[in-house]
Amino acid sequence: MACRITSKIAQPGILSVRRMATAAKEVHFTREGKVGLITLDRPKALNAINLNMVHQIRDHLLSWHDDTSVGVVCVEGTGPKSFCAGGDVVSITASAEDDSAALTFFHDEFQMNYLIGTYPKPYVSLIHGITMGGGVGLSLHGKYRVATERTLYAMPETAIGYFPDVGGSYFLSRLEQPYGMFLGLTGYRIKGADLKHLGIATHYTEMEKLPALKSAIMASTEDTIEEVLASHESPIPGPFTLGPQVDLIKHCFSAPSVLDIFSRLEEDGSDFAVKLLKTLRRMSPRSLVVTHKLLSEGGNFSYEECFAREFVAAAEIYRSGEFTEGVRALLVDKDNCPAWKPGTVEEVTQEMVDRYFVPSGRQWKPL
């Protein structure tokens, strides 16, 4: 039977990113007044981040950390399509026989994410366009996230044999539950206004007003930035679009296991439930179970501990070959037929899952 992803739910934006030659200027850093501006500049790759960009952003954040002449940090993406579509996953999996490059990327990216989340100065993300995977890590940990009607948010990693990382086990587990579990397992795409409803975005501004907002941000200070953001907010257009599905989501995604989620969706039988179940059955079974455990337990761990646990899981999922196979099937060969091992959630054993939570080899620590 032919394998093909057709559901909008299961189309991860991160998967559209192709490996591209390293440009001399992939990210720019500008100082104006008391504001440090970070501009991602890989529009042809939807501003996907690579290790070079991670290091540059990390190093500039460190240099501004104790610089009293910098009071606010703002990050944006070049072009109208994307803030940041995620990590350059094809490059990450290119050396499948050697996991050192992949683990270095995850390790250093997580350090950058953690630095953003513990930054002592206001950090503002203008998340217009596609904001997925690594783009979520670049934005959500900061104090302010400004969405527009063109924002498209998702954590679609289970479709490529991975899991919602970049601190996902921390922030998804702390959303009003079980929305975090729903978003983390399905990769469901959320638009700008709904991000404000969910609390993922702190502000909502119409795209046509974004240039004026950016100008005001660049003239702001740490004392005025909150007022600047509030004064440029637009009314949220309409109610929460997932409102009609709230009861279904709460009932099904609060289940104690992935198999129980499947059972509750089957019992519900509505069109939305059937669509979700079809989507979930295409995802990596192993990734679904690991994600469920990470998100179920994430609320019990500190910010630092969540990143450390995710790094352990990332190392094991890379060694398992599941991530490499998912990228191959959806990005490289594009046959959309990943050979997941095992092929069903029913076959995922406790022993398999436990390996993702036992530290082995290199460990993660914040800067």
Sign for the pseudo-dihedral over CA of 121, 122, 127, 131: positive
Helix (H, G, I), strand (E, B) or coil at 71: coil
Q: Per the residue annotation, which of 157, 194, 310, 316 is the catalytic one?
A: 157
Tokens matching residue 45: 């790759």
CB 173 within 8 Å of CB 302 = no
167 flagged as catalytic: no
pLDDT of residue 24: 52
Sign for the pseudo-dihedral over CA of 157, 140, 259, 269: negative
Q: Per the residue annotation, which of 71, 133, 134, 161 is the catalytic one?
A: 134
CB 288 within 8 Å of CB 280 = yes
66 flagged as catalytic: no
What DSSP string runs through 330-365?
IIIS-------SSSSGGG--HHHHHGGGS--SS---
161 flagged as catalytic: no
Q: What is the pTM of this model?
A: 0.93
Each residue's pLDDT expressed in tens, for the chain with a length of 367 residues: 344 333 344 344 444 333 333 445 899 999 999 999 999 999 999 999 999 999 999 999 999 999 999 999 999 999 999 999 999 888 888 865 668 888 999 999 999 999 999 999 999 999 999 999 999 999 999 999 999 999 999 999 999 999 999 999 999 999 998 999 999 999 999 999 999 999 999 999 999 999 999 999 999 999 999 999 999 999 999 999 999 999 999 999 999 999 999 999 999 999 999 999 999 999 999 999 999 999 999 999 999 999 999 999 999 998 899 999 999 999 899 999 999 999 999 999 999 999 999 998 889 999 9
pLDDT of residue 13: 42
Up-side HSE of residue 226: CA atoms within 13 Å toward CB?
5
CB 125 within 8 Å of CB 144 = yes
CA–CA distance, 123 with 291 (Å, rounded to integer): 28
Phi, psi (deg, nearest 5) at residue 348: -75, 120
pLDDT of residue 314: 95
Q: Per the residue annotation, which of 71, 77, 86, 87 is the catalytic one?
A: 87
Under 8 Å CB-to-CB from 249, ≥6 apart: which residues?
A: 178, 179, 182, 242
134 flagged as catalytic: yes
